[in-house]
Amino acid sequence: MCQPVRVADDVSAPEVCVLGLGLIGGSLLRAAVEAGRDGWGWNRSAGAVDAARADGFDADTDLVAVLRRAERSGALIVVAVPMPAVDGTLAAIAEHAPGCPITDVVSVKAEVVAAVARHGLQDRFVGGHPMAGTSQSGWDAGDADLFRDAVWVVSADDGVDPQIWSQVARLALDCGSVVVPAESVEHDAAVARISHLPHVLAEALALSGAAGGDLALGLAAGSFRDGTRVAGSAPGLVRAMCEGNRDALLTAVDETLDVLHRARTELAARGTLAELVESGHDARLRYEQRERWTITDIEPGSANWLERMRDAGRRGGVLQP
């Protein structure tokens, strides 16, 4: 008989130490506490810490004190700072909390894994990426329900500790998400396709419309509005996200350039867009009809568990509570 993967029920649920109390970190602290976990947070700026305290949360601006507390209690440390601050944060963890399990919520994974290895923390690290967000930022924008019914990737890289993997997966489940197991490089390739490429194409489409002047913009209707929506996002955020996943995004852009070149050639030579339009329509239907299924019977730490998890993730499988 199939058994749900047991991370949700049996794994130890250590205290949660959240480093960075912006939108994602602040929402995570709220969600973990609401789920009954003990948790506290750190933020560099006092504003977020004051706001968190005013909302009844345990927070501090003293990174060393926070990390020593994590070390004493064996807390799961969540790195929730922006990518440029990850390296310094990992250095502090290596110095002051050398025994704690560590995860992160940064939107690219390979770059974080490389930084983790530079600090010799790879044995205690399991990366994560909750696919949730809003256009807002900061503690005040946080929401305990931000991760509810979201997808949370938990990295299934070679060499990860199965117990820490389960702790990270349990945190994601406690926050209301489903867990997708994926290797870091596969995660980055996937988000390049479905999150970063959409931004690149939206910017290009917006430019084409504006190049048509007020006549073209005045005729624009739903297809242009929806196709350019995310070009309205703050340029700094879009750049950080896309540039942080450069290699995978370049691959996705190059594939798309090939597709567009081929379509252009067919249209010019034979007057047809049949291949592009029919295959693109099939692809959209595949997206609309995708279905999650629940991964069962893969016990973290069992034989070939990482390969089996990754294979299940590739086929649309998720861990559910």
Sites for a second copy among residues 55-94 (CB under 8 A):
none
Least distance from a second copy to the Cβ atom of residue 244, Å: 10
Crossing angle of the two packed helices 110-118 and 184-191, in degrees rounded to 10? 140
From 141, 124, 151, 112, select the one nearest 48 (Cα to Cα).
Answer: 141
User: Which residues inside 212-251 make contact with a second copy, applying CB under 8 A?
Assistant: 212-235, 238-239, 242-243, 246, 249-250
Segment 14 to 33, residues that bind a second copy, using CB under 8 A: none
**Residue 122 or 195 having the CB closest to a second copy:** 195
Cβ 222 to a second copy, closest distance in Å? Answer: 8
Determine which residue in the list 10, 123, 255, 297 makes contact with a second copy, applying CB under 8 A: 255
Q: Which of residues 147-176 bind a second copy (CB under 8 A)?
A: 151, 153
Q: Which residues contact 95 (CB under 8 A, 6 or more apart)?
A: 67
Instruction: Look at residue 212 and give its three-state secondary structure.
Output: coil
User: CB-based burial of residue 283 (10 Å sphere; 0-12 exposed, 13-18 middle, 19+ buried)?
Assistant: exposed
204 binds a second copy (CB under 8 A): yes
Question: What is the rounded distance in angstroms from the CA atom of residue 281 to the CA atom of residue 302?
Answer: 41
Burial (CB < 10 A; 0-12, 13-18, 19+), residue 205, is middle
Q: Which of residues 298-317 bind a second copy (CB under 8 A)?
A: 313-316
Question: Shortest gap between Cβ of 40 and a second copy (angstroms)?
Answer: 29
DSSP symbol at 125: B
Stretch that binds a second copy, among 68-76, 158-166, 202-210, 294-302 (CB under 8 A): 202-210
Rounded least distance, CB 60 to a second copy, Å: 33
Rounded to whole angstroms, how far apart are CA atoms 226 and 221? 9
Q: Between residues 99 and 218, which has the closer beta carbon with respect to a second copy?
A: 218
Cα–chain center distance at 139? 18
Contact mark string toward a second copy, 99..138, x via CB under 8 A: --------------------------------x-------
Rg value, the chain, Cα? 21
- The single residue among 201, 296, 320, 321 that binds a second copy, judged by CB under 8 A, is 201
Residue whose CB is less far from a second copy, 123 or 278:
278
